[in-house]
A = this chain, B = another copy of it.
Amino acid sequence: MLIVMHHHATDAQIDEVIKAVEAMGLKAEPIPGSLRTAIGVLGNQGYVDDSTIRTLSGVRETIHVSKPYKMVSRDFHPESTVVNVGGVRFGDSEKPVMIAGPCSIETEEQMMAAAEQVKSGGAQMLRGGAFKPRTGPYSFQGLGIEGLKYLQRAGKAYGLPVVTEVMRIGQLEAVCEHADMVQIGARNMQNFDLLKEVGKTRHPVLLKRGMSATIEEFLAAAEYILAEGNDQVVLCERGIRTFEKTTRNTLDLSVVPLIKEMSHLPIIVDPSHATGKRNLVTSMGKAALVVGAHGLMVEVHPDPARALCDGAQSLDGIGFAELMKDINGLFEYLGY
């Protein structure tokens, strides 16, 4: 941490800050500049809580150098992590993984039809939501446990590991029983108690970026899971909230190469939620693979026009087959 003093800070104020740093068991190194003095803080093993320092007189600002995470960082864990979901592998050395399926699980027939399309299109994993986070209470909230069973059966029938969202700790056991991978949605990225509980399982986790989360907060959320002993975490970029409203969110693709540099965890992209528009899914999905994403998650529904949720961003079977044809061409170019 660097403590920047005001231009007119007195020597007594500087001494006061140095004493406060030392009282925290750390070393203070003053750096007198021509316009102002700065004080380096040394000896900390991680993020320093600066609230007690920022309150001292003469202090203009404090600047953090350490980050609120460590185990997820490539600095301290240079080898890339591979996450294994029932034999499907996400990681630097692996071919990108395609996950597809409907936003919501609606009926057993719908899930079977979706799984058939997902499989025949060539995807490796099946998605579907049994517990749905909806803006308002009057929208369809998901089928619950019954839905988990349909998802599991469809996955088994077509040999596709399945991923589904968990919204509360009380659902976690059932979700782990029926699904191969547990998803934490964007709205729960900072539901820290849920992160801790998921960290105590040894189930693979798909952690979505919060809708206005910084990269630092995103990695710190993953740190909650790793800190409990579970390193099987795949990160997922799904768009951030900006002033631009033509798309549902603004897909921030530069996080893919950035996170691959900063962390050893795999990262995938969800172009369906990011854009909210079916006709953008293929092009944005391909762009995500070109910047190095370890996989894609796309919404596929046997009959989008009758979907109970997010139909406008879902592909039907034909649309998904076309997307996969395109993606396969891209894989060839990328050398997979």
- Which residues of A does B touch, CB under 8 Å? 2, 4, 6-8, 20, 29, 31-36, 38, 40, 42-47, 49-52, 54-56, 63, 65-66, 68-70, 75-76, 131, 133-141, 167-170, 187-188, 190-194, 196, 211-212, 214-217, 220, 223-224, 227, 240-247, 250-258, 261, 274-275, 278-280, 283-284, 286-288, 290-292, 304-314, 329-330, 333
Contact = CB atoms under 8 A, between A and B. Distances in A.
Contact of A244 (B34, B56, B252, B312): B252
A241 B212 contact: yes
A214 B243 contact: yes
Most buried by B among A34, A168, A193, A304: A193
A84 B284 CA distance: 28
Contacts of A313: 51
Contacts of A242: 240, 242-243, 250, 252
Copies in the complex: 4
22 contacts: A33-B42, A33-B43, A49-B308, A52-B306, A54-B311, A56-B305, A68-B139, A133-B190, A134-B192, A168-B194, A240-B250, A245-B245, A246-B258, A251-B252, A251-B253, A254-B280, A256-B283, A257-B280, A257-B283, A283-B290, A287-B288, A333-B333
A65 B191 contact: no
Given A34-B45, A52-B311, A254 B284 contact: yes
A52 to B, nearest CB: 5
A56 to B, nearest CB: 7
